[in-house]
Amino acid sequence: MTPESIAAEFEVTGQVVTVLNIDTGNVNDTYRVITRTSYSETQFVLQRINHNVFPKPDLVMSNMRAITDYAHKRLNEQASKSNRIWQLPLVMKTRDGKDFFVDAEGNYWRALSMISSATSHEQVLNVEHAHEAGYVLGHFQKTIADFPVDQLGDTLPGFHVTPTYLAHHDTVVQTDYAQDRLKGSSEARRVEAYIQERRDFASVLEDARERGELKVRPIHGDPKITNIMIDDITGKGTAIIDLDTVKPGLIHYDIGDGVRSACNPAGEEVKDLRDVVIDLDSFEALMKGYQKQAREFLTDADQHYMYDSIRLLTFELVIRFFSDYLAGDVYFKTDYESHNLNRARVQMKLCESIEARESMIRRILDSV
Ligand code: GN1
Ligand code: MG
């Protein structure tokens, strides 16, 4: 089936005019669909869920349905008191009333409303943008904070559980393929050594969770800067998109991931590592924005683990990208031979920068 005929399976007004591939995201395939009637046009997002990454796509969709229904209700209740019009994608139904369409090859497809007149960016533009990234993330976490976490399925067991990624890495690194890749590149050996030196740090958040200091709650799971929509008219954050990974987790996964993405002005795809650094002005702005929303639901223990979460999620992504390089690029989509190695090196440089600036980061965390 073509993406055009799949688009027509969803409950839309008008006829499908075209389906444009949007080259975004490292996991799913994403398209922009345009439909027209004789007097109007509609656009929506069509996605093929990567069932190699998400073994239970129907569970992803039931989480997404539950959380968006809940969040839309809350956003509407609060609309008159709010300083902006918050948005969130809506899961569109198929013509036979389902939340997804399964094609003849067993691929799962979903359609989502498009957040129009808003733009997301590959990397942070300025401190205002960083502030909005924090504000949007805090607002989203606050909106879903009271959703009963036991009603969310675990769509990706082990997601953001760093010791699990480390254990996977340890298995992969022993294969002949991985050993060849290590022999072939001194950069790869440097990343490997970097990971080994920090092994003990990998369990910092999971240990705190096991001790009962940190609680599992509904989280976004993937709040990178490309998932933050900025309103073209007001310049303010208006939505967080990419709700695949909304599931039970620690809010620290979101904080760490949001910071490592939004406070690296070079972005995660850069090839020249010179500009990869944690930008402290962006960091301060992001945390100010985040705390304005989140302060009211964060505990003292939550605040205590902020620095660790920023360092850990960056370190975790070093492990994830690097293990995928050693495994032959089976998880993240790649565009060139050493893409995952390069991504790992970017996160390693960023992690080094976070470690070197620890005292300044902690000072900012105490002051916002
Ligand atoms: C993946 O799909 P995308 O590009 O938003 C990954 C995230 C990583 C991110 C790094 C389900 O996100 O965890 O942080 O790449 N998503 C999944 O760019 O693994
Ligand atoms: Mg994602």
Q: CA torsion, points 253, 258, 260, 261, in degrees to nearest 10?
A: 130
Write out pLDDT tens, residues 28-79: 999 999 999 999 999 999 999 999 999 999 999 999 999 999 999 999 999 9
Taking the mean position of all CA atoms in its chain, how far away is CA 185? 29
Q: Which ligand is nearest to the CA of 28?
A: 1
Token duo for residue 264: 């690296």
Rounded-to-integer distance, Cα 196 and Cα 139, Å? 37
Closest atom of ligand 1 relative to the 227 alpha carbon: 5
Instruction: Enumerate residue ranges in the chain where pLDDT < 70.
Output: none
Say how many Å lie between the CA of residue 332 and the centre of ligand 1.
8
CA–centroid distance, residue 242 to ligand 2 (Å): 5
Domains and CATH numbers, the chain: 1-114 (3.30.200.20), 115-368 (3.90.1200.10)
The per-residue pLDDT for 77 is 97
- How many A from CA of 177 to the centre of ligand 2? 28
Strand ranges, E, within 142-198? none
Q: How far apart are CA 101 and CA 98, in angstroms?
A: 7
Amino acid identity, residue 1?
M
In this structure, which residues have their CB less than 5 angstroms from ion ligand 2?
222, 242
Average of per-residue pLDDT values in the chain: 97
Return the pLDDT at 193.
Answer: 98
Q: Ligand 1 test: best mutation among 22, 23, 26, 309, most atoms within 8 Å of CB?
A: 26
C-alpha 363 – ligand 2 centre gap (Å): 31
Structure tokens at 328: 């032959």
Span from the CA of 43 to the centroid of ligand 1 (angstroms)? 24
Per-residue confidence (pLDDT) for residue 24, from 0 to 100: 83
The pLDDT tens digits of the residues spanning 101-124 come to 999 999 999 999 999 999 999 999
> pLDDT tens digits for 296-325?
999 999 999 999 999 999 999 999 999 999
Residues whose CB is less than 8 angstroms from the CB of residue 94 and which lie 6 or more positions away in sequence, other chains included: 9, 10, 11, 100, 101, 111
Q: Are 268 and 346 in contact (CB under 8 A)?
A: yes
Among all bound ligands, the one having the nearest atom to the CA of 55 is 1
Residues with CB under 6 A from ligand 1: 25-27, 53, 222, 224, 242, 244-245, 257, 268, 317
Report the nearest atom of ligand 1 relative to the CA of 321: 10
All residues at 6 or more sequence positions from 169 whose CB lies less than 8 Å from its CB, including other chains: 195, 319, 322, 323, 326
Residue nearest to atom 5 of ligand 1 (CA): 25
Surface-to-core class of residue 52, CB atoms within 10 Å of its CB (0-12 exposed, 13-18 middle, 19+ buried): exposed
Q: Which atom of ligand 1 is nearest to the CA of 242?
A: 5
pTM: 0.97
Q: Which ligand is nearest to the CA of 30?
A: 1
* Atom number in ligand 1 closest to CA 221: 13
Task: Using the mean position of ligand 1's atoms as its centre, give its distance from the Cα of residue 103 in Å.
Answer: 24
Q: How far is the CA of 343 from the centre of ligand 2 (A)?
A: 16
Burial of 127 (0-12, 13-18, 19+ CB in 10 A): middle
